[in-house]
Structure 1
Amino acid sequence: MSALRQAFPRVPGVWQSARSRQSWAPVRRFSSSPVAQANWGFVGLGQMGYPMARNLRAKIPATDSITIYDINESATSQFVEEASSTGPGAGVTIAKSLQDVSRASDTVITMLPQPKHVQAVYKEFIEGGLDKTNPRLFIDCSTIDVKTSLEVGSSIRALGHDFVDAPVSGGVVGATAATLTFMLGASDSALVKAQPILEKMGRRVIHMGEPGTGIVGKLANNYLLAMNNVATAEAMNFGIKLGLDAKKLASLINCSTGKCWPSEVNNPVPDVIESAPSSRGYQGGFGVSLMAKDLKLAIAAADLAGAKLILAEPARKLYEDAEVHDDCKGKDFSVVYKYLQLTGK
């Protein structure tokens, strides 16, 4: 029995459609040839969802249609305006309700901020009446807790439709460039359908295993990212305070064993990496509030599995403190370096 089945034995309908595995399988390649598809739905046009939907529209046939929905009406209006100005492509329709999305689409992709949003959106889909004679594929790319994902997926599959969890790594830059990595939790049959779709918005699709394992993979990755970011901020702060030049220190780290994504690409010290959020006032990138959320989700998942995370609690407190600080809130998660400066820590 897998760890997920042991942790969530009472979530009804989750495991019947997923093959039991002795271990989590590495990526298995399936054909990425175009899927015969005409009607698409996309819910959630935030910092990540907007460029993902834009790339999807650009790579599906012009004869297809895509129905979009977001509570931010300016985002949907901007999407339609941009689509009309970029020349031929799939037709875009703004849905008046979530139920309009599920009724109009054969494949629906959701990219939402919090578990409560995922629950609310899929409740609307279900209450809108999902025609069992027209099986749909639902792909949730949100980073949420495992339990919510399993429960939502179970409710969708119980109605005869497919649901996969496919959270992403790569940030806004990856979403814009269509270089995202998708961590996919899906049955083998759903994988065959979902993989070529996800490849329109990203570079890699890694099948982690049965439903829920995509979320687990994402939380494990983001836990490591959160720790690396804190460690990079502390190491840079430590070296600079003892007189080292910031760029020289970063150069040393990035050709030595301390090298990591926060040191090389997203360095938290302003003007070390020109393209990093820290060099533009910590604007853009992956929000500190989102990292605080993902860290809390990782801690909760680890608790369920009985996995000890020794560094988790002090890091959680640091991110949460930075999240509410007037000079740090709303900024990229690398702003923890600025928080250390501001608080003298």
Structure 2
Amino acid sequence: MRAASAIVSPLRRLAPTAVRHTQRRCFSNSQNMQAVWGFIGLGRMGYPMAKNLRAKLPATDTLIVQDVNLDATKQFLGEHSEGVIVAENVREVAEKSECVITVLPEPHHVAGVYKSMLQPPSLLKDGTAKERLFIDCSTIDPTTSREVANAATLSGQGKFIDSPMSGGVVGAQAGTLTFMIGASADVVDRATEVLSLMGRRVLHLGEQGAGLHGKLANNYLLALNNIATAEAMNMGIQWGLDPKALAGMINISTGKCWPSEVNNPVPGVIEGSPASRGYEGGFGVALANKDLKLALKAAKEANIKVVLGDAAKQLYDETEADSNCKGKDFSVVYRFLGGKE
């Protein structure tokens, strides 16, 4: 495993006039020229990530952004009067950029975007003198990621890296994300340079697909710990224990975990937590359920036996469908279980 956190020097440069007036770009070795970066997906995670990227790049660099939500791209452009271009489509991003970062919701979005970027392969390769990097920060199933990676390799247009992240919207805004990457050794340093502009840690877990496998294993455990914490807290409170005293005991004992210590599901136990704000913000129950399902799917495909996952999935399905819980932080399972608020 490899970790890095340093903010590093920018990529190679592109002449500013070429960026704005031509379709294809010829990269120069001169450090006095302008670098061009691509970013696709300005959602809840992608938007603040792109903002941090733009803020940490030299003023002379250009960031090309694209999203199907035109309001998001309009807002982003409005907040950055210099050094940002909104592309008409994802193909334009790929043609102009030496490094393309994608942050997309679902596997079919990732597959569709990369198909549009990679096909047809003619002309695209002429855009850079340095091998293009495609860094996908989406949390999707490893099978789709592998298919996209193979398509990128076969097209000859660049190398694909899976790089899901941990830290949520708060981490994306603060630039403290942890990225888990799956990539061949020869591109790890370069990918780390890019990701360190948006996060605090970059962990190399192995070859392509390893980043996603690591992320899904972690979020599988997180989903289960969240339910167990909600059940344990509900249990103790129903027995008459003070919520803060119970949480304090757990957090210096063997039951300690992130849901008990940082994201405790009982309102009032942790000041500022989603539970203390009506379960608003945080890691949405739908997203937690999505990651759990992806982990279960990947485990099934690999013939890996799991025991607790299916029961957890059923609970999250029911919680997500409940009108009092839908759209809330995933700690809202405490409410669904009938916990005292």
TM-score (norm 1): 0.87
Tell me which residue corresponds to 2:311.
314
CA root-mean-square deviation? 1.7
Matched residue type, 1:36 = L
Deviation of the 1:192 alpha carbon: 2.0
Query: CA–CA distance in 2 between the matches of 1:77 and 1:132?
Result: 29
Query: CA–CA distance in 1 between the matches of 2:4 and 2:248?
Result: 37
Deviation of the 1:28 alpha carbon: 5.7
Query: CA–CA distance in 2 between the matches of 1:35 and 1:219?
Result: 31
Deviation of the 1:30 alpha carbon: 9.8
Unaligned runs of 5+ in 1: 1-25, 85-89
Tell me which residue corresponds to 1:119.
111
Deviation of the 1:159 alpha carbon: 2.0
Matched residue type, 2:113 = V
Tell me which residue corresponds to 2:29.
none
Tell me which residue corresponds to 1:209.
206
Tell me which residue corresponds to 1:247.
244
Q: 1:122-133 counterparts in 2 under 5 A?
A: 122-127=114-119, 129=121, 131-133=124-126
Q: 1:283-298 counterparts in 2 under 5 A?
A: 283-298=280-295
Query: CA–CA distance in 2 between the matches of 1:113 and 1:128?
Result: 24
Tell me which residue corresponds to 1:146.
142
Q: Is 1:271 the equivalent of 2:263? A: no
Residues 142, 213 of structure 2: 8 Å contact kept: yes
Residues 183, 214 of structure 1: 8 Å contact kept: yes
Matched residue type, 2:297 = A
Equivalent of 2:90 in 74, 90, 98 = 98
Query: CA–CA distance in 1 between the matches of 2:224 and 2:259?
Result: 10
**Compared CA separation, residues 131 and 232, structure 1 to 2 (3 A):** same
Query: CA–CA distance in 1 between the matches of 2:137 and 2:255?
Result: 31
Query: CA–CA distance in 1 between the matches of 2:319 and 2:64?
Result: 37
Equivalent of 1:62 in 59, 66, 71 = 59
Query: CA–CA distance in 2 between the matches of 1:258 and 1:284?
Result: 25
Tell me which residue corresponds to 1:221.
218
Secondary structure at 2:38's aligned position in 1? strand
Tell me which residue corresponds to 1:77.
74
Deviation of the 1:29 alpha carbon: 5.5
Matched residue type, 2:186 = S
Equivalent of 2:153 in 152, 157, 165 = 157
Mean CA deviation greater in 59-68 or 75-84: 75-84
Q: 1:158-197 counterparts in 2 under 5 A?
A: 158-160=154-156, 161-197=158-194
Residues 136, 162 of structure 2: 8 Å contact kept: yes
Residues 163, 190 of structure 1: 8 Å contact kept: no
Q: 1:54-80, CA deviations, whole angstroms, 9 ceiling, x for partnerless residues?
A: 111111111111111112222222222
Matched residue type, 1:164 = I
Deviation of the 1:286 alpha carbon: 1.1
Query: CA–CA distance in 2 between the matches of 1:28 and 1:173?
Result: 21
Secondary structure at 2:138's aligned position in 1? coil
Secondary structure at 1:139's aligned position in 2? strand
Tell me which residue corresponds to 1:109.
101
Q: 1:6-61, CA deviations, whole angstroms, 9 ceiling, x for partnerless residues?
A: xxxxxxxxxxxxxxxxxxxx116698631324111111111111111111111111
Matched residue type, 2:124 = D
Matched residue type, 2:137 = C
Mean CA deviation greater in 182-191 or 244-253: 244-253
Deviation of the 1:118 alpha carbon: 0.4
Mean CA deviation greater in 210-219 or 63-72: 63-72
TM-score (norm 2): 0.88
Residues 32, 195 of structure 1: 8 Å contact kept: no
How many residues of Structure 1 are paired with residues of Structure 2 in the alignment? 313
Residues 270, 278 of structure 1: 8 Å contact kept: yes
Q: 1:180-234, CA deviations, whole angstroms, 9 ceiling, x for partnerless residues?
A: 1111000111212101111111111110110011000000000010011011111
Deviation of the 1:147 alpha carbon: 0.5
Unaligned runs of 5+ in 2: 13-34
Mean CA deviation greater in 265-274 or 147-156: 265-274
Percent sequence identity is 57
Mean CA deviation greater in 96-105 or 219-228: 96-105
Tell me which residue corresponds to 1:34.
9
Tell me which residue corresponds to 1:336.
333
Tell me which residue corresponds to 2:28.
none
Query: CA–CA distance in 2 between the matches of 1:205 and 1:151?
Result: 23
After the TM superposition, list the runs of 4 or more consecutive aligned residues in structure 1 that deviate by more than 3 angstroms.
28-33
Q: 1:101-141, CA deviations, whole angstroms, 9 ceiling, x for partnerless residues?
A: 11221111001111011011111112364622323111000
Deviation of the 1:304 alpha carbon: 2.0
Secondary structure at 1:220's aligned position in 2? helix
